[in-house]
Amino acid sequence: MSALILALDATSRNEALAIAESTARYIDAIKIGYPLVLGAGLSVAGEIAALGVPVIADFKVADIPNTNTLICDSVFQAGCSAVICHAFPGSDSLAACVGSAHDHGGECFVVCEMSHPGGAEWFSGGVAESFCMMAAGAGADGIIAPATRPARVAALRELIGTRKIYSPGVGAQGASPEDVKELVDGIIVGRAIYGAADPAAAAAEYSRRCR
């Protein structure tokens, strides 16, 4: 049983808010990122949060510690509840993201392994495990792991223990909720919901399948 997180990668404010409103009752959080924020501005985060849905900022933050702090502080001041960052810039950069999140009463999630085919080229084979240990060491609230590779999610679950795992790759990337719903805390679905003819009906169906 898993939560359902909508990856709202629509690029217009009005479309995004309409989808957020119509799907809100079926989803547990909305993940926003560059596609929406570059089109609509960061203030859209607060507008979505005002609907009563927690907002996760997927900026895959990956810079020096000071810049990471500036980015994450902006994200939380805009009304987001969580931020997603990369581990590869190092433990000090990661600590800056976790520190900002916790200073604002929010959460920080760390990308450990990506869900697209190219994600297996680099992240698998020990790197993801290292990132997972870095995430735990930094006090992160959870990690991002690929629904497209359930065996890898299971391996990372062994390392991350009871911290949360959010998992993208369901729907357009080919994975099903049933592949990982017993392993993860949240399933991230984007195009299969926001790109559906009836996003609310699609969200209702994914919600049913995540439970």
Q: Which parts of 15-54 interact with ligand 3DU (CB under 6 A)?
A: 33
Q: Which residues make up each annotated binding site?
A: 9, 31, 115, 190-191
Pattern 51-90, ligand 3DU, x by CB under 6 A? -------x--------------------------------
Tell me the H-state helices in 24-173.
34-40, 43-49, 65-77, 91-103, 119-122, 127-137, 150-160
| Angle, helices 91-103/65-77, rounded to nearest 10 degrees | 20
- H/E stretch holding 199 reads helix 199-210
92 is catalytic: no
Q: Which parts of 129-168 interact with ligand 3DU (CB under 6 A)?
A: 144, 146, 168
Q: What DSSP string describes 175-187?
A: B-HHHHTTT-SEE
Rule CB under 6 A: is residue 108 a binding residue for ligand 3DU? Answer: no
Residue reference for tokens 């629509």: 10
From the list 65, 99, 106, 190, which residue makes contact with ligand 3DU (rule: CB under 6 A)?
190
Looking at the Cβ atoms of 34 and 103, the one nearer to ligand 3DU is: 34
From the list 114, 132, 135, 165, which residue makes contact with ligand 3DU (rule: CB under 6 A)?
114
What's the start-to-end Cα distance of the chain, in Å? 4
60 is catalytic: yes
Q: How far apart are CA 155 and CA 172, in angstroms?
A: 24
Q: How far apart are CA 97 and CA 187, in angstroms?
A: 22
Rule CB under 6 A: is residue 9 a binding residue for ligand 3DU? Answer: yes
From the list 102, 164, 191, 209, which residue makes contact with ligand 3DU (rule: CB under 6 A)?
191
From the list 81, 93, 100, 115, which residue makes contact with ligand 3DU (rule: CB under 6 A)?
115
CA-based nearest residue to 114, from 158, 155, 145: 145
- Residues marked active site are found at 58, 60, 63
Q: Which residues bind ligand 3DU (CB under 6 A)?
A: 7, 9, 33, 58, 111, 114-115, 119, 144, 146, 168, 171-173, 188-192
